[in-house]
Structure 1
Amino acid sequence: MNNYPMMHHMPHMHHKPHMHHMPRTIVVNPVDTCVVETLMSHIGKVVILETTRGRIDGCVVDVKQDHVVLDQRHKKFFVRIAEIVWIMPE
C-alpha cells in the first residue's frame, strides 16, 4: 500500500453563467456636423440655444463633436449637441 491519499473523481459540473451580469448598453449619438459647423462659425459671438431643457444664451467659446461651451456672464455652460433644438445668433 502506498501512503498517498485516495483521490475521488467528481463528475465534471457545468456552471451556468450568472444571469445578473448583463451586458452594458452604450448609447452613441451620431455627430450632427451641420450643428457643429454652425456653432464653430459663431465662436466668439453670442447665440441663443433652444434645448430640450429650455433656452440658454451666451458667447460660444468652444465647440466639440458632442458639446458646445457657452460663457454666460463668466459662467461656463456645457451643452450637449444632441440636446439642441435650434440656434439663433444674437
Structure 2
Amino acid sequence: MQEPFDVLVNGVVYSVFPEEDNIYTIFKAGVELGKIEKDTENLWLKLDPETELPVFNNDDETNRIGAAINAYVPEEEDEEDEEEFE
C-alpha cells in the first residue's frame, strides 16, 4: 500500500492518505475534508461521508486535488535508509 503524501494545489497543502481502489482520504490544514475516488483520468468524485457512495457533482477543488495526486511521484528512499530496516 502506498504511503501518505502531501500535494500542493493553488498554494494549499493537502495531505493524501491512500486507501483502496483509487480512493483517498484528504486532509486540509489537519482537518479531514473527506474521501475522493478516481472516476476517470480527469474526473474525481467526492464520497458521501455517511454512505461512502460517490456524489456526482462537478467539484473543481476535488478535481484539482485528483490532478495533483495523478502527478505525484513518490520520493525514492535512500539506500542507506533501506539498509537500516534490513
TM-score under structure 1 length normalisation: 0.33
Higher Rg: 1
Question: More relative contact order in 1 or in 2 (CA 8 Å, sep 6+)?
Answer: 1
TM-score, normalization: structure 2?
0.34
